[in-house]
Amino acid sequence: MIQNLIDGVLTGSYLSLGAIGLTLVMHILRFANFSHAELLSLGAYAALVFDALVTALAPVLATKLGPLSLTYALLFAILISMVLTGLSAVLIDRLVFKRVREKGWELSMVFASFGMALIIRNVIGLIFGLSPELYSKDIAFAMILSRDPLILVKPDQVFVLVAALALMFVLHLILSRTTFGYALRAVAENPSLAQVNGVNLARTVMAVWLIGGSLAAVAGVFYGLSHQVIPVMGRDLVLPIFAATIVGGIGSVYGAVLGGFIVGIAGNLALVVLPSGYTPSIPFMLILIVLMIRPHGLFGEARA
Amino acid sequence: MIGTISYLVFFATTASILAIAVLGLNLQWGNTGLFNGGVVAFFGAGAYGTLILGGTPQDGHLGGYGLFYPLALLGGMAAAGVMAWIVGLLTLRLRHDYLAIATFGVAVAFENLMRNAEWLAGGAKGVRGFERPLRDALGDGFLYNIAFFITVLIILITVYLFLERLVASPFGRLLRAIREDEEAASSLGKSPSRIRLTAFITGSVILGLAGGLYGTFYAFVSPQDVLPTLTFQIWAMLIVGGAGNNRGAIFGAFLIWGAWTASGWALSRFAPVEAQLYTGSMQFVLIGVVIVGMLMWRPQGLLPERLVVSQRGSKE
């Protein structure tokens, strides 16, 4: 039970990171982006490639950080992957979503995002193969926190949680303390009025994709560290991430963080009462419950 | 010769069943602007419902009620309708993202439940023990397939005529009015959320009908039949054919099913053996490219919606 709770918090940390970007995009561009989870896979695979590259170029960096299975090389790779995934998100928007948006077919954006998800997921599968990959082949030994009841935590998981919380705090500072943060909130409230006040709409949209993409990359790598890197990871993550945004309220960054943890914890606690085969259905059950009791989520507001 | 004909009949039967599903989706998306991300769940509810109600008794899972076939089919359609009612009631008052996400979730949960709940529908092994109607009279061979194809064709035409009438009726105008401008429609005293719910349920019942026929055709349904792939295929059919146009929907169904079958055949025949594992991925990339490409270059589809103006304003 306590073990499930801890695992849930750790699952929640990468779900939250994924949900933040999704909720921002859904708030500013007003469409449910079904390809967001594919940015997580993109980030995970980019980190895999650059981890190998950095290790080959500078073998010194292949040393591990203390008790973690994480190497300095992978840390570098994560940074590169964040930039690359952010830029890919901008590029996908330029190539596809922007064009569909400008045609005025707002509802068609959802279709376009599904199409993009199919393309990205399967191209990754074609390039990297369908079998799972790992960042480190060494077995990471778990620390025993308590023997009765048995509670195990891997050092990597602690790192994932701390790093995720740190990133969220940085984002919180950006959103609440900088002019850019105000501009972002202004665009979300009323795009025309924000433009009248000198906010560059195109640049704000680009920034949203950059932030969303880079956080998705981190989330993807963290998922890979906790489980494995596999082309279909986006398919398995899309519903939990959407559930996190709905639980938190579409458009609320803090809601997305809380929603991510709620979905993660609920999924792991459900293992106590339900066979593990039913885990993929838990996010949907949460969505139904939230829609029944509080349709706009914990922090969301009613908006057409 | 008889082999070719019997294959064509098989192909046309599947394409016609899918065309019925595309017509159901067209009512939701094309005419009303409702995004159904879980087409396969409603299709699957129809298939599972029909087979469980109409099948012979089985050990270990629900079913075997041996109902008179048309009643079983109606039951399957009702199952799809009830599911649509629940999802629609919860989401149609909210912004459109919610319906997209909730319907996508229904499909995930439906497949997950069917795969795991052995007591319900046999789990991964699927529902067995269904006898195709009139099998005693027509046998199992070519004659049966021809008869079944004609039945499906008649149902397809009936659904088409029904939808054409519906779309041309005041109710159809109301659907388009809500799709184009919800506030204007409600200012005229219409209730958008109720009308949308009606359209969503009707479309889902038609999806359930297609699913029921599909299950009957194979006399078997398993979680493999309710994978998201089918949702993507049915969408591609509608977008390529032309959302809002019922003839386009049918045309798109035959075209995309033909292209899908042909590409699968070509890949399995000409692709090198070591690439065979990846034929699925290649087909998915193709279907993704078709969806995105159509939206970018010809969003109205090959046969666009024809907007009929019933009463032109006088020009003074």
Q: Scan residues 242-301 of B and list those with Cβ closer than 8 Å to A.
A: 277-278, 281-282, 284-285, 287-292, 295-296, 299
Residue B181 to residue B168: CA distance in whole angstroms? 18
Each as own residue / partner, the long-range contacts of residues A98-106 (CB below 8 Å, 24 or more positions apart, any chain) are: A99/B296, A100/B295, A100/B296, A100/B299, A101/A29, A103/B299, A105/B295, A105/B299, A106/A30, A106/A31
Task: Report the percent of chain B where pLDDT is more than 70.
Answer: 96
pLDDT higher than 90, residue B127: no
Cα–Cα distances in Å, from A69 out to A47, A64, A162, B88?
Answer: 15, 6, 15, 47
Amino acid at A117: A
Count of the separate structural domains present in chain B: 1
Higher-scoring residue by pLDDT: A232, B135 = A232
Tokens 């998800």 map to which residue?
A117
pLDDT higher than 90, residue A79: yes
Residue A241 to residue A253: CA distance in whole angstroms? 13
Task: Report the percent of chain A where pLDDT is more than 90.
Answer: 51
Peptide bond preceding A149 in cis form (omega within 30 of 0) = yes
pLDDT level of residue A60 (50, 70, 90 thresholds): confident
Residue B299 to residue B242: CA distance in whole angstroms? 8
Does B33 reach chain A within 8 Å, measured CB to CB? Answer: yes
**Range of the structural domain that residue B51 is part of:** 8-226
Amino acid at A194: A
How many Cβ atoms are within 10 Å of B171's Cβ, its own excluded? 15
Residue A11 to residue B305: CA distance in whole angstroms? 46
pLDDT level of residue B33 (50, 70, 90 thresholds): confident
Does B239 reach chain A within 8 Å, measured CB to CB? Answer: yes
Class level of CATH domain A2-293:
mainly alpha
Residue B179 to residue B34: CA distance in whole angstroms? 8
pLDDT higher than 60, residue B207: yes
B254, two tokens: 């035959």
Nearest Cα to Cα of residue A20 among A217, A270, A288: A217
Q: Cα A77 to chain center, whole Å?
A: 17
Q: Alpha helices, DSSP H only, in chain A?
A: 2-28, 36-57, 72-92, 98-102, 108-128, 155-177, 179-189, 191-196, 201-226, 233-248, 253-273, 282-293
- Residue B310 falls within a domain, yes or no? no
Does B104 reach chain A within 8 Å, measured CB to CB? Answer: yes
Q: What is the least distance, in Å, from the CA of B243 to any CA of chain A?
A: 11
Higher-scoring residue by pLDDT: B280, A149 = B280
Which residues in chain A are closer than 8 Å to B232, comparing Cβ atoms?
114, 118
Query: Taking all residues of chain B, what is their mean pLDDT, rounded to a whole number?
Result: 88
Q: What pLDDT does B316 receive?
A: 46
Q: Cα A282 to chain center, whole Å?
A: 18
Q: Report the chain B residue with the minimal C-alpha distance to residue A275.
A: B116
Q: Scan residues 129-188 of B and list those with Cβ closer than 8 Å to A.
A: none
Nearest Cα to Cα of residue A113 among A292, A270, A234, A250: A234
Give the one of B94, B96, B108 whose C-beta lies nearest to A107's C-beta. Answer: B96
pLDDT higher than 80, residue B275: no
Residue A81 to residue B291: CA distance in whole angstroms? 28
A25, A92, A122: best to mutate for the B interface, most B CBs within 10 A: A122
Q: What pLDDT does A70 receive?
A: 81
Residue B132 to residue A195: CA distance in whole angstroms? 64
Residue B121 to residue A71: CA distance in whole angstroms? 48
Residue B173 to residue B38: CA distance in whole angstroms? 26
Q: Confirm if A195 and A94 have CB atoms less than 8 A apart.
A: no
- Residue B58 falls within a domain, yes or no? yes
pLDDT level of residue A261 (50, 70, 90 thresholds): very high
pLDDT higher than 70, residue B297: yes
Torsion of CA A79, A80, A82, A85, to 10 degrees: -170
Higher-scoring residue by pLDDT: A240, B90 = A240
Residue B79 to residue B42: CA distance in whole angstroms? 8
pLDDT level of residue A303 (50, 70, 90 thresholds): low
ipTM (interface pTM): 0.89
A230, A287, A296: best to mutate for the B interface, most B CBs within 10 A: A287
- Residue B178 falls within a domain, yes or no? yes
Residue A36 to residue A212: CA distance in whole angstroms? 9
Model pTM score: 0.90
pLDDT level of residue A104 (50, 70, 90 thresholds): low
Q: H/E element holding A69? A: none
Average pLDDT over residues B108-113: 93
B156, two tokens: 């397809």
Which residues in chain A are closer than 8 Å to B285, comparing Cβ atoms?
118-119, 122-123, 126
Give the one of B90, B108, B281 whose C-beta lies nearest to A122's C-beta. Answer: B281
Give the one of B105, B288, B299 whose C-beta lies nearest to A115's C-beta. Answer: B288
Which residues in chain A are closer than 8 Å to B290, comparing Cβ atoms?
115
pLDDT level of residue A304 (50, 70, 90 thresholds): very low
Q: What pLDDT does B1 receive?
A: 73
Q: What pLDDT does A11 receive?
A: 92
Query: What is the domain partition of chain A in residue ranges?
Result: 2-293
Residue B52 to residue B49: CA distance in whole angstroms? 5
Tokens 């993507």 map to which residue?
B232
Chain segment A12-41, per-residue pLDDT in tens: 999 999 999 999 998 888 889 999 999 999
Question: Exposed, middle or buried, B313 (CB in 10 Å: 0-12/13-18/19+)?
Answer: exposed
- Residue B290 falls within a domain, yes or no? no
Which residues in chain A are closer than 8 Å to B239, comparing Cβ atoms?
111
Q: Confirm if B252 and B237 have CB atoms less than 8 A apart.
A: yes
Query: Taking all residues of chain A, what is their mean pLDDT, rounded to a whole number?
Result: 88
